[in-house]
Each structure stands twice: as C-alpha cells, then as structure tokens.
Structure 1
Amino acid sequence: MRWIILLAFYFLVDIYGYQAVRSFSKNTWIAIIYFVVSAIVIGNLILQFNHPNEGGTFSGGRGYAIGIFLAFFVSKIVLAVIMLGEDIVRVPIAGIQRIFGESEAFSIPSRRKFLSTVAIGLAAIPFASLLYGMYKGKYDFRVLRYTLYFEDLPDAFDGYRISQISDIHSGSFDNKNKIEYGIELLKEQDSDLVVFTGDLVNNLASEMEDWKTMFSRVNARDGVFSILGNHDYGDYHNWESEEAKTKNLEKLKKTHADMGWDLILNENRFIEKNGERIAVVGVENWGAGGFKKAGDLEKAGTGVDREDFKILLSHDPSHWEQEVKAHEKHYHLTLSGHTHGMQFGIEIPGWFKWSPVQYRYKHWAGIYEEAGRYINVNRGFGFLAYPGRVGIWPEISVIELKKGPKPA
C-alpha cells in the first residue's frame, strides 16, 4: 500500500514538474526521455527495497537508490510547487475574463516561459546539492572546536581535551581512503580522551569487519570510551531468531573490545590526575519517541557523587532533555549524537543554523547550555539512508574544559 501511495504522489509531482519543461519544448522525444528517466528512478528504488540487502537496511545499492530518488524527487517538487502557484493565478484570471465578457470562451492563459525558467533554475539547486552530497559531502570531515568553562572543574583537568565522534554507521561506508583520512584527522587532535557516542553499525556486527583494524588505531592518553546507539541492538533487522539477535549484539560488544575501546554499559569510569578525578558515565540507548530505552541513569551513576565532575555519554539527545539536565547529581557535560543533523541543512557558523531535524529534536547539532549544564550533539562521522551530506558535514568534536567562570 505504501508503494501505491508513493507512486501516486510521485506521478502527480512528475506531471506538474513536466509543465516547466513543456514550456520550452513540446517535442515528443523530450517528453519520452523525461518520463522514462522518472520511471527508471522510481523503479530502481522499488527494486532495491524489494531485493534482499544483506549489508544493512540502507547500505550499498539501496542507499544510492534513495539518494538518486531524492535528487530527482525534491527537484521536481520545487518545479511542481512553482507551476501550481502559477495555476492558482492563471485559472481565476481565466474565470474572471469569462464572467465579465472579456473573452467569449473560457481560455486559460499560457504559461510564462520566464516563470518556467526560474522554476528550473531553482530546482537545479537541490538537484546539484544532493548529487554533490553523495559524491563528496559525505566524507567532507570537519573538526569543530569548543571551549567550555566550569567553576567546579578540578584544577588538574584545566585544559583537558576530549575528542568526540558518533554515528559511524560502518555498513554505509564505501571508500577506505576517505575513512582513513577521517581517522587520521581524529588522531591529529591529540586529545586526552576520545569518546564514541553510539551507532557503530546500521544493523549487523559483521559490518565492522572491514573497518575494525582501521578504527583500532584511534587512541588517546586516557583511552577511548564508547557506548551503544539505537542501531547497535539490531532492532531494525529481520532476525531468524532471538538467539541470532543476541549473538549479534555480543559480537558487536566484542568488536569494541577488539578495537581497544572501553564500552560503558550503564556504568562509569573515573579518570584520575594529581590526586583529583572526573567521572565518565555511560548509559545504553535511551530515546524518546519510540526509541529503545535501555539506558539506566541511576544504575550508571552508582558510586558517583554529586560533587564529582561528570561527563555523561548518552546517544540520544532527547535523554538530556527529559532526564539528565534536571537530575539531582548535576551532570556537567553530556555528549550525544543520533540526529546526524539530518545530513541536510544550512549552517553559517556563529550566525545561522537550520535543518528539518530541528522540528523533531530541540537539541540537534552543536553545544547547548541550560543552567550551567551542557550538551554537545555531534553531527556524526558516517551517514545513513541518504548516502551523502549537504550543509551538515561529518564531524569530529574537540571540547576543551577550562576552570573558571564563563567569559562575558
């Protein structure tokens, strides 16, 4: 049924989008090429989703089918909206002319070629952007640096640096050289601690086999700490049995250990320097809106005092909003991921930040602060579904902790 609805909507958008092309030429061959290409795009999408995909829900050919479909479909929606807007004006004008006798017959004015030209020009922007995002944007790694001030930070940790990556989604990768570049960029930051905040794979632990050796090179003076994200549990895969699903999760946990990463599952670790300490607390996935709630903040914080300086690793930022930021133990800094910034948006650092995902998540990318408690929502290292990024680039966060009041 969902395919029928999609096909019907796609067909209507296609017809309206074609009106802009038709304003330039009514050549039959142009029409044939237009609709044949449209049929191939939607046909390939349906074929990919009705063909077994062992590598993960949106990986391989299925991911590219989604990307190409979006590039064409979003562009045609732009065309259709402008053409529909023109019709909203054309039809009433024709009716008025007929009613007041300005014309003997009901005749709709022809489309304006200028408006069709503008429509095609505007439609080319998302089309080119989405194709660029697939070609280059998905591996255009950026290092984003933040300095956060805390009056109760232990003196020994003044200037302490944390590198964060999130949402690797290894089952989507297709270029070892690009991933190696991203890992080397992470290592170059030379931070005291590296943390990974969930979603190592799309579904299957086996997705990491080709990448495990590469990611095992990630290290830091105080180690690499990691947690699980919603995709790591295999909940989006059709398993032959619960036993197979359980074995997959155990294999994934072992992968963290094989890479030398300390996987924290509703637990905590202390880092000590010069007789002082900070706590790193890690919860399993906890997400609002139907996502898995395996995280147990009370259990994770066992043995951690309110006076301890605390860094919480929690995959889904909705956890911070609903449970963490008002918690009596005062979690100073929460590090999350999950949203990917929707892999699409517009950012002008320090001036403007927008993505459709902001209508779903209050905290969706970057640093947020409330009552002296902070959260960083990492935009993700990898990608999922749409195999690209436009405006929201893959991120390595580097956070420096400073002792003292926040500068005015």
Structure 2
Amino acid sequence: MLRWLIPLIIVTILAVILEIYTFNALKTISKNKFLRFTFLIASCIVYINFFITVFSYDRSNGQTPQFQMAMGLLLTFLIPKLVLFLLLFGEDVYRWIVKGISAFSSSETQPLAGRRKFISQLALGLAAIPFVSFIYGIIQGKYNYKVIKYQLSFDDLPAAFDGYTITQISDIHSGSFTNKEKIQYGVDLINEQKSDLMLFTGDIVNNQADEMDGWIDVFAKLEAKEGKYAILGNHDYGDYMDWKTPEDKTNNFKKVKEIHQKIGFDLLLDEHRYLEKDGQKIALLGVENWGKGFNQAGDLQKASANVKKEDFKILMSHDPSHWQEKVKMDDFNYHLTLSGHTHGLQMGIEIPGFFKWSPSQYVYKQWAGLYQEFGRFINVNRGFGYHAFPGRVGIWPEITVIELKKA
C-alpha cells in the first residue's frame, strides 16, 4: 500500500488546486449555486471512487475493468480542469505582473473583473472539448475500429508474392473487454479484409490467461487464406502481477502460449517459418518481447537461424524500440517489421496526411503508423484493444492491411 502513497498525495494536491480554480471559474460566470455545487459533488464522487478502488486494489488480480474505469473517470475530470487551470493561472500571472508594475508607477490599473469573466468563459469552453472527447472515448471511441491500408514496394520481393496481402492486428488485451457484441464487430471487420496472411503482434491478455476464456470463441473465427501467426507481447509474460508462487506465474505463461493454438495461431517464439507460393518463398520471423530497458527476452539471431541473408524477410517484434535499437541497422536486412505495444497512448490528435501527435511520441520514436529508414519499413499498429485507460481519444483501434508489391 505504501507504493501508492506518494502518487496519491500528488493527485490529491493537484485535485485540490484544480477544483479551486474550476469552482471559482463557475462562480465568475454564474451565480447559480446549484450548478457549482453539483459539479463539485460529481468531482468528489469520482475522487472517492478512485481512492476506494486504489486502496482496495489487489494486484494479484491484475488490472481489472473496475480499476481501469476508476482511472478513466479520474482522467476525464482532471485533464479538462488542467486545461482550465493553465488559462486561468496564466491570467493570474499576468494580473500579478500588472499589479507589480502599477505599484512602482503612477499609472492606474483598469478593472479586471470583465476580463476575468471572459477568460473564465473561454477556459470552460476549451475544457469542455477534452471532457466530451474523453466521455466519447470511453463509451464509443474504443470500438471505433479503423482499417488502415498500405502498399509497399520492394525490388527483391519474389514475383509470386506481388499483390500478397497481410492483415496485422496487435494488443488485444482481452482482460479489458466488456462488450462482446462490439468485439465481434471488430473481428468481423478483420475478416472482411480477406487477406492472404494474418499476423498478431502480441499482448493477447493484460496479465492472466483466464482473461481470454470468454473470448476464445470470438477470436477463433479469425480467418486468413495462407495462415495465422503470432508473437508474445510484454503483458503476456505476467510480469505486472504479484503472483503467490513462481509456479503460478510459470503455469500462467504456459496457458497464455496455449491460447494462441486454441484460436488457430502459430505462435513464433524466436522462430521462423517459410511461406511458399508458386515455388518461391519469403521468411516470416517472430521474436519474443524485446523492449529497450526491460524484458529483453527476444533473440533475433535465434529466430534467424538457417534464414539466408538474401531471403525476403518479414519480422514480428512487439516493441518498436527493438527496431530502433537493433533491427533497422542490422545488415541481415529485415525488409518489413511489424510491431505494436504503444497503443499511441490511446489519446492524441491525428489528421491523416497532415498532423499526428500523442504524448507517446516523447517515449517512442516510432509510435504509430508506417516508418522507413535505410530502405526498411516498420509498421507500429495502434492496437485492437485498450489498457489502463478504458477508452480511446483521437487514436483509434487499428486493423492494418499491407499489400506487398514487386517494384
């Protein structure tokens, strides 16, 4: 419980400051006490729910949907108030500067009440944008599946694979799911792509294998003409739970690996497979999770054993930092790498073809979409599911379809 103490103190101090500014903003633009106190009571309910959830949270159960919802509601209330605070605090600073100048001059300052009301109205209006966005993200945004298509050309692609299509999905996180009908819709949308190959790039659960029990029948319906292959993600190892015994963790990991077989996927554990078509072939490689600074279980050399340098290669590696740190510079030439992991932080702003931003970009150089360096490509899938925050704001769940072309 002590590990939560400092974060809770910080959240409490932040919440008090934000509530003071929000309450005063409402007071400035409206004399309606019912409005002000109703909003304050709603905020208190969110905070109390969060604190109760945290203090009663049993880490041995993993991150439950209840914990995620408490976190989601907290962010939904805090982030809009943070926007409001930044505007009003900025106005306060300006007002203090003006008062300071007037104290050392003979000039008289103009009344600031009118400007304060205008700034309060503006701040509340701007704060409403993230508030509504987060509400939408929790209710509907996490199911707003987008099919993103790329056509990639390679000089050395075997001619038989010209026009070959790959559907990539990633980060299912089945332990977060609550709506079977919506998830079934997403699975149906994946199947509608009718790709030759289906690749899943890790994180099938949040922590525990049994999170997938109620979803086996749904994901077993995934279809691809030439086969389905998968790798593990960082959450599949059970590293984010307090297990009662090491044996429990080992048994859980074994069951997580067995899930892939149950839904018809060939799980690659530092292995490769050759895909053949009309007498020609390409190499498909899959490594265990390799992340910069943590859980570097993946062994690229082991996965590449008996693969020739001149072979056309597709690599599945869950964490894009692997590509940044190791893969893209490897002279063995991995033509296309498929990753996930980042989720694009599940929140950000994207205007396709013009603008893309998320806090995720300050952690990962490749965080969402297609990137190219040294003539090699990586696609970072934004994820099918969601984790921690029970929604998506601006960064929608993704189904990637890649068509390979002979240049």
Same fold (TM over 0.5): yes
Residue 116 (1) aligns with residue 120 (2): yes
In the alignment, the residues of structure 1 paired with residue 111 and residue 122 of structure 2 have an alpha-carbon distance, to the nearest angstrom, of: 21
1:282-311, Cα deviation, whole Å (9 max, x unpaired):
0000001x3310000000100100011100
Match for residue 167 of structure 2 among 163, 167, 181: 163
What is the root-mean-square deviation of aligned Cα atoms in Å?
Answer: 1.7
Per the alignment, residue 227 of structure 1 pairs with 231
Alignment map for 1:336-351 (pairs within 5 Å): 336-351=339-354
Residue 200 (1) aligns with residue 204 (2): yes
Q: Within the alignment, does 1:381 sit opposite 2:384 as a pair? A: yes
Check the 8 A contact 1:283/1:314 in 2, yes or no.
yes
Which residues of structure 1 form unaligned runs of 5+? none
Find the counterpart in structure 1 of residue 295 from structure 2: 292
**CA distance in structure 2 between the partners assigned to 1:20 and 1:293 by the alignment:** 49
Quote the Cα distance in structure 1 between the aligned partners of 2:7 and 2:110.
38
**How far 1:32 moved relative to its partner?**
3.3
Q: Encode CA deviations 1:104-124: one digit per residue, 9 max, x unaligned.
A: xx9984362111111100000
Q: Which residue of 1 aligns with 2:304?
A: 301
2:269 maps to 265
Please report the TM-score for the alignment, with normalisation by the length of structure 1: 0.95
Among 56, 66, 77, the residue aligned to 1:61: 66
* Partner in structure 1 of residue 19 of structure 2: 14
TM-score normalised by structure 2 residue count: 0.95
Equivalent residue of 2:386, what SS? coil
Q: Which stretch shifts more, 144-153 or 3-12? A: 3-12
2:191 maps to 187
Which of 353, 356, 359 is 2:356 aligned to? 353
Q: Residue 15 of structure 2 aligns to which amino acid in structure 1?
A: Y
Residue 319 of structure 2: aligned partner: 316
- Over 3 Å counting, the alpha-carbon distance change for 1:321 and 1:381 in structure 2 is same
Q: Which has the higher helix share?
A: 2
CA shift for structure 1 position 63: 1.2
The one-letter amino acid of 1:328's match is D
State the partner residue of 1:391.
394
Query: CA offset at residue 227 of structure 1?
Result: 0.3
1:330 equivalenced with 2:333 (yes/no) = yes
Runs of 4+ in 1 over 6 A off after TM superposition: none
CA distance in 1, matches of 2:12, 2:330: 48
Higher mean displacement: 348-357 or 278-287: 348-357
Residue 153 in structure 1 maps to residue 157 in structure 2 = yes
Partner of 2:279: 275
**Number of residues of Structure 1 aligned to a counterpart in Structure 2:** 401
Equivalent residue, structure 1, for 2:246 = 242
User: 1:99 pairs with 85, 101, 104, which one?
Assistant: 104
Partners in 2 of 1:329 and 1:251 — Cα distance? Answer: 34
Structure 2 residue ranges without an equivalent (≥5): 1-5
Distance 1:107 1:95 in 2: 14
Aligned amino acid, residue 358 of structure 2: S
Tell me how far apart the structure 2 counterparts of residues 349 and 55 of structure 1 sit (CA, whole Å).
41
Q: Match for residue 133 of structure 2?
A: 129
User: Would you say the 8 A contact 1:200–1:232 is kept in 2?
Assistant: yes
Amino acid in the other structure paired with 1:167 = D
Q: CA deviation at 1:52?
A: 3.6
Deviations 1:218-248 (A, max 9, x none): 1212211000000000000110011000000
**Which one is further off, 87-96 or 268-277?**
87-96
AA of the residue aligned to 2:389: Y
